Amino acid sequence: MIVLFTDFGPSGPYTGQMKAVLHREAPGVAVVDLLTDAPAHDPRAAAYLLAAYAGEFPPGTVFLCVVDPGVGSARAPLVIEADGRWYVGPDNGLFELVIRRAGTARLWEVRWRPERLSPSFHGRDLFAPVAARLARGESPPGDKRLWDERPAADRPRPDWPDDLAEIVYIDHFGNAITGLRAATLEPDAVLEANGTRVLRARTFSEVPPGQAFWYENANGLAEIAVNQGRADEALGLRVGSKVQVHASGAGPD
């Protein structure tokens, strides 16, 4: 299958245009909309989401990933193979966490260019055709490179932590997903966001309506929520809000 991961938003023509290319170039291959509202213009936040969600898909899946504020610039187009899954998109850090957590990873810089290449829509004109080729079983159209042989400015970001103590996504319900893997936190850890400290619960029904808490979401990330409410509004959270981790004795507010 081909899986779409973009910041295009749920409306507008962009996702449809990319799907049209995929159906033309790889007919019969399933196309799955994983995320169309990844943090806009924010490859760093999106990288933690992509790494969390990708593991749910089988080897051979092709991820077409477009969070690309530098489209049309000198940043390179990449193909990544990590633990048997393929990723196509810009070299801007979007694949940083996928590669860092993978057992095996290979990288190609895409040299192929289509006859028509819009400087502002590489998702449609460049990344989608490459993803279709991979889904058809073809080899990556580019030069294989080692991850640590790129120019120093393009190497993995040392300032991007393995787990990001920030809000990286607000979902439809107002739940605030962090870049922290719950497995890295103590079971009784207290999270603090925007001055409010919350305790851990296993699920929503364990706390009264209106109470804030944090839990391990279905993809392994620590998520701050309010039972039958919106954590973003109740706690004043947005993408980029910092999160602090405290020992259990800290207590909630």
pLDDT in tens, 145-169: 765 555 544 555 778 999 999 999 9
Kindly state the helix (H) or strand (E) to which residue 178 belongs, with its residue range: strand 176-181
Q: Are 38 and 70 in contact (CB under 8 A)?
A: no
**In terms of DSSP H, where are the helices of the chain?**
14-25, 43-54, 96-101, 122, 128-135, 231-235
pLDDT surpassing 60 at residue 130: yes
Instruction: Give the tens place of pLDDT for each residue, 46-60.
Output: 999 999 999 999 999
Instruction: Give the tens place of pLDDT for each residue, 167-213.
Output: 999 999 999 999 999 999 999 999 999 999 999 999 999 999 999 99
| 164-250: CATH architecture | Beta Barrel (2.40)
Domain boundaries, the chain: 2-154, 164-250
- Domain 2-154: give its CATH code: 3.40.50.10790
Single-letter code of the amino acid located at 200: R
pTM of the model: 0.92
